[in-house]
Amino acid sequence: MDVTLSKRGSYAAAAAICLARAYESGRPKKLREISAEMDIPRTFVPHILGDLVHAGIAVSSAGRGGGHRLARPPEQVSVADVIEAAEGPLATGRCALGDGPCRWQDVCPMHETMTTATASLREVLAATSLAVLAERDAAIASRTYPIPADAHRHAPAVAIADSVQVELPAAAVAARLSAGTSWLTALAEACDREEELRIRVGPGRPGWLGTTVAVHLGEAAQAGASLVIPFIWEASGPAGMFPRFEGELCLTALDPERSEFRLAGRYRPPLGRAGQVLNDAVLMRLAQATVRSFLRRIARGLEQEHAGQPRQPAGGRAGR
């Protein structure tokens, strides 16, 4: 018996957790930020946030500084509130025994049991607040949360790191990164096409590796001599499995005229044939090639843009 949430319910819970984490800052979250941070397909996010706003859990504001935020503190929002905003009231909608003998026309022997079980489930969900989920999420992100024995594992993510040198001062590169990410998204889209043709590990259909949806850069932080920027790349994908890279982009000055990009994190690839996870060797090859190609494109694009030249499809010197 599967008691997991529907896609809509799980996306609503994830979006609510994202808003709960941001509540203390007072800054509204953009739809694209919620999509990237919580691994929610971009097309679903407006509908999910609409559910939360309609239920009075979230509020939205328009304009450049607008977005979505919780309508009240996360301690005052229960998990039941969030789930029912997306799924509807938690109740047994039909007889547990289906079409039984004629003597069960009005009620069946399971009715009271299922009603009690449903009420108990809702009681647990109502007693758990968004603040609790946000605290757990922070612990999971910091790897301090103990993994339960019955944890539900997903497709493996591959740890990957690579670097590339750029013939530009670090300050010039940092300024370009702060100007937005649409140009990075375009580079990632080109990388998608290039690696699909080069690697040929999929079923052979165009678009098997997915299409880049967005590249998201978080708030930069200084770490010693380097600038560290949270980095998320997300794409659409087949079979409901969305390729995604999540990690950090590290910018370091090598000398007054050169800088280094280092990208490190975890890459979750798409599924292979018949929805199967690819073997470890292919996963690593795919992750390495994708990250390497993307870094090369960043380097070449920045150098050509700085020189006033049109961007070329490939280039850069990848680090070892």
Q: What is the DSSP string of 172-212?
A: HHHHHHTT-SHHHHHHHHHHHHHHHHHH--S-S-TTTT--E
Whether 168 and 221 share a structural domain: yes
Whether 112 and 218 share a structural domain: no
Whether 311 and 163 share a structural domain: yes
DSSP string, 38-65: HT--TTTHHHHHHHHHHTTSEEEE-STT
Residue 290 belongs to a domain: yes
The confidence band for 48, taking pLDDT boundaries of 50, 70 and 90, is very high
CATH code, 228: 3.30.530.20
Instruction: Look at strands 244-255 and 226-235 and give their pairing.
Output: antiparallel
Q: Is 46's pLDDT higher than 80?
A: yes
Of 184, 202, 214, 207, the residue nearest 297 (C-alpha): 184
Whether 245 and 313 share a structural domain: yes
Residue 285 belongs to a domain: yes
Q: Is 200's pLDDT higher than 50?
A: no
| Domain's final residue, options 141, 174, 189 | 141
| Domain's final residue, options 141, 170, 196 | 141
Whether 132 and 218 share a structural domain: no
Quote the tokens at residue 39.
Answer: 């691994």
Instruction: Identify the residue with better confidence: 18 or 207.
Output: 18
Whether 103 and 213 share a structural domain: no
Q: What is the pTM of this model?
A: 0.61
CA–centroid distance for 237 within its chain: 13
Instruction: Identify the residue with better confidence: 216 or 169.
Output: 169
The confidence band for 264, taking pLDDT boundaries of 50, 70 and 90, is very high
What is the model's pLDDT at position 156?
64
Q: How far apart are CA 34 and CA 23, in angstroms?
A: 13
The confidence band for 316, taking pLDDT boundaries of 50, 70 and 90, is very low
Torsion sign (Cα): 133, 135, 139, 141: positive
Residue 205 belongs to a domain: yes
- Would you call 271 helix, strand, or coil by DSSP? coil
| Domain's final residue, options 116, 141, 166 | 141
Q: How far apart are CA 52 and CA 82, in angstroms?
A: 7
What is the model's pLDDT at position 58?
96
Residue 1 belongs to a domain: no
What is the model's pLDDT at position 16?
96
Number of domains in the chain: 2
Whether 129 and 197 share a structural domain: no
Task: Report the chain's mean pLDDT, rounded to a whole number.
Answer: 80
Q: How far apart are CA 134 and CA 67, in angstroms?
A: 19
Whether 119 and 230 share a structural domain: no
DSSP string, 114-125: HHHHHHHHHHHH
Which are the contacts of 42, defined by CB distance < 8 A and separation ≥ 6? Answer: 31, 32, 35, 213, 214, 234
Residue 260 belongs to a domain: yes
Residue 150 belongs to a domain: no
Instruction: Identify the residue with better confidence: 38 or 277.
Output: 38
Instruction: Identify the residue with better confidence: 227 or 278.
Output: 227
Whether 187 and 255 share a structural domain: yes
User: To the nearest whole percent, how much of the chain has pLDDT over 70?
Assistant: 76
Report the range out of 43-52, 148-157, 308-317 with the highest average pLDDT: 43-52
Which are the contacts of 120, defined by CB distance < 8 A and separation ≥ 6? Answer: none
Upper half-sphere CA count for residue 97 (Cβ side, 13 Å): 14
DSSP string, 16-44: HHHHHHHGGGTPPBPHHHHHHHHT--TTT
Residue 56 belongs to a domain: yes
Which are the contacts of 63, defined by CB distance < 8 A and separation ≥ 6? Answer: none
Phi, psi of 199 (to 5 degrees): -85, -45
Residue 297 belongs to a domain: yes
Whether 15 and 111 share a structural domain: yes
Whether 93 and 197 share a structural domain: no
80: domain range? 7-141
